[in-house]
Amino acid sequence: MKATLILANGAVFRGDAIGAMGDRVCEMVFNTSMTGYQEILTDPSYAGQGVVMSYPLMGNYGVNGEDNESQRPWAEALVVRHLSPVGSNFRCEGSLGDYLRQHDIVGIQGVDTRALTKLLRSQGTMNGMITCAEHFHIREVLDKLAAYRVSGTVERVTRGEKEVFPALGEQRLRVALMDYGVKQNMIECLRKRGCEVTVYPAHTPAAEILSGGFDGVMLSNGPGDPADNVDIIREVRALYQSDLPLFAVCLGHQLLALATGAKTHKMTFGHRGGNHPVKDLAAGRCFITSQNHGYVVDAGSVDPAVAQVSHINVNDNTVEGLKYKRKNCFTVQFHPEASPGPEDTEYLFDRFIASMGGEKNA
C-alpha cells in the first residue's frame, strides 16, 4: 500500500506504507544513529513525535525483548529509506515491520531520507502527517498540522505508582529517581553500582521524597517543552533546596535549570543521535554522546552565583551540563546511560555515587 508524508511547509514525500495503516499527525524529527531503532522507538522522550532515520537501512537485525527502554514504544511514526523484511541476528525475535504493526506505529519507506533530513535541518523541526489515503485535501492537512502541538507528554509517559528496583549485588545506597520518561538502562546503571532505586511518578511531591531516607535523587529524561511542567518545576525547586545529592539528565537537567532561574528555548532541529561530541570543561576531554532533545538551556540565563556550565556541545557550543555551586548537584543534557562508545560517559554515575558517600568506580 502506498503512503504519503506531508510536512507543515507543504512538502510531500511519497513511498510505501509500513507498520499500522491510517493517518498520524506528529512532530517530525530526525535521528542520525545507524542502529538502535528499537531503543529509539521505546524511548519515552519521543512521545508525540515521528522519527526520520537518516541512515538508509533499518530493521536488518530485527527486534527482541531485551532492547526495550520502556514497557512500550512511544514514537508515533517511523520514516525510513529501506525497511529490511527480515532480521539477521542471533538475538532476533521478530521483524521491525511486525513490531510496528503490533504497537500501532505508522510508517513509510522508500522516502529520500537524506533530502528529508536536510530539509528539517535547514527549515527546522516541523509537524507532519503520514497518511495511507489515496486522495486527501492538502489544505485540510496543513490546517491539522498548524493546530498540532506536542503537550501533556510527561503525564502520558510517567508511571502510575512508585516501583522499587533492588540493587544488583550488595546494596550500598538508596536512590529516588523521578520518572519524567525514564529509560530502563538509567535504572540499571544505578542498580549495578549497588543502588536500590525507587522510581516515583513525575508529580510526586518533594516532601514525600525528602522523607524517604534516600541517599540521593536523580531526575530523569523525558519528552516535551520543559517550561510546560510548572507544577513539577516547583517540586524540583524544593528538592534542590534540600541537602540531598542531585543528578539530572536531559529533561531533568532542563527542569532543574528552570527551577533555579535559568531559561530554556526550542532548538531549530535539536540533537538526536549517537555521535554528538561533548567537551567536559573541567577534565579538558571530549566524549561521544547519545542525545535526544529539542530544547536547551540558555547559557546566558544561568546565574553564575548558582551554577556554571560544565559541558558544551563541540558542534554548536550549546549547554550540555551544569555544575551547581550548591554541594553535590550536577546535571547533563546528554544520556550517559546510552553508552555509544560503549561506556564513554558512565563516569557521571560514578561521580553521583561518590557524591552520596559511596565508592568511586572511576
Query: Which residues are known catalytic residues?
Result: 250, 335, 337
By the 8 A CB rule, do 345 and 249 touch? no
What would the 3-class secondary structure string for 125-171 be? Answer: CEEEEEECCCCCCHHHHHHHHHHCCCCCHHHHHCCCCCEEECCCCCC
CA angle 253, 256, 261 (to 5 degrees): 125
For residues 130 and 76, give the distance between their C-alpha atoms in angstroms, rounded to a whole number. 10
Give the C-alpha distances (Å, rounded to integers) separating 211 from 198, 208, 214, 217.
13, 5, 8, 12
For residue 117, give the nearest of 160, 54, 58, 55 by alpha carbon: 54
Phi, psi torsion values for 313, nearest 5 degrees: -80, 125
> Which of 269, 313, 291 lies closest to 30, judged by CA?
269
Query: For residue 168, what are the CA distances in angstroms to 162, 177, 213, 323, 359?
Result: 19, 16, 20, 29, 15
CA distance 39 to 283: 30
Angle 251-259/230-240 helices, nearest 10 degrees?
80
Question: One-letter amino acid identity for 328?
Answer: N
Strand partners, 295: 266
Read off the amino acid at residue 237. Answer: R
